[in-house]
Structure 1
Amino acid sequence: MFRSDYLMRQIEQLTKVVGEVMGLRKEQKPIQAQQTIDEFLKRNYGITLNLLRSLQVNELVKMFTQHGVLDTDRLTALAKLLQVANAPQSSGAKQAEKEQEDHHHNLLKALHLHLICANNDEPEPEIIKEIDAIISDLRSYVLPIEIGRLVWAHYEQQGRYAQAEDILFAMLVDDRSIGGMQIATLVEDGLSFYERLLALDNDQLDAGNLPRTEIEASLIALKKWQ
């Protein structure tokens, strides 16, 4: 991906800010950490951390889309800042619970932004690692269906077909537990997913840890959800 000198400077500044914030967090200085993030955001984006957390993802995407082109670099920078903002560190139970909720909210939004950017353009290896790390951090939570679908698309795009299949069936199970309103659409999209995979050669499927025989068995299992 081509990057201008301006964008490279932005990335360097972001890396420096993230390092400073993580250091301040370790030193138990959350106020200074938020001030550092706010200064960076005001200088480069004209917003604050509180505003960033309050804006919906679709609003952020609209803000950073010009002439139909999404500025994935700037959105990725926002996602990285959300990852290091408000990491839980309090010892008091009530405050710790609030910090955990805020951190969970930040991670979900960061993941959502990372996935939109990754599925819009060929992601760099470091972004794929960021996405994997957030998914791992959120493994004990149920992902919202919109984010789950983006994870599914991301795994397929990356040729990680077994993981794509896992998220499909996880979404089916999770949706059934809350009424099953999305099951029909998920099954329909799942059938299309397997059709795309069956059009690939065996080497590609094996590389994605989902051989053809397993796909055929999974198709039978998926149709039982109809």
Structure 2
Amino acid sequence: MAYAWRWLRSLLFNIHMYVMMVIVGIVFFPWALISRRGAFAGCTFYANWIIWTAGWMLGLKSEVRGEPPTDEVIIAAKHMSFFDVLLIFSAIPAGKFIMKREILFMPIIGQYGARIGCVPVARGKRGAAIKKMVEDVASGAQEPGQLVIYSQGTRVAPGENLPYKVGTYVLARETGQDVVPVATNIGVLWPKRGVVRKPGLAVVEFLPRLSPELEKSDFMAQLEDVVETRSNALMREAGYEV
């Protein structure tokens, strides 16, 4: 009975999440159309709304640890679910994401993603996207902000072991920007697949910066070690045996 009730609450929450996406997208659209600031306002309102409603509808509380950056940096994040996207975005002033190109053509998400400066990546062409990003930064075409990249390239469920891709290092090296690693435990409470969302404390943690001046092997080793070590510790806090 307890599981059935949790499943129903999760289903209602998921429906509300997509309904609110449409409502917020429509309400903020005129402002977003004429101003990038309006797009950020709409995305920030939506992220904060979902974080708030998850707390009382699901018992899914959230916490941001560490020091979220406010300058131009690259954020190399562990990606477990849609919820970590919202938590990271709500914690930084001008977040933009490297995202799959298919998302660009989705209603609302695609339009707002493009408006805030997200970088679409075609499957198998991450190198080309990084090259374009570097060129845009050099020419001033990209608006300043915090660029979020998922170093493993996709959502990763607890227990999965996917390699870290070199794109984060290349982007940092070419732009000269520091990299802020981010760990999370969200996949324990908000699974990669399925309806059920679990009560508990979801955490994203901003970790000490990595310098773009590091050698590639050192950079990649440090990035993977710090993100995986902290993510494992946070998952243990949430009751998951790593």
Q: TM-score range by the shorter chain?
A: 0.3 to 0.5
Question: Which structure: greater strand fraction?
Answer: 2
Higher relative contact order (CA 8 A, sep 6+): 2
Question: Which structure: greater helix fraction?
Answer: 1
Q: Taking structure 1 as the reference length, what is the TM-score of the superposition?
A: 0.32
Q: Taking structure 2 as the reference length, what is the TM-score of the superposition?
A: 0.31
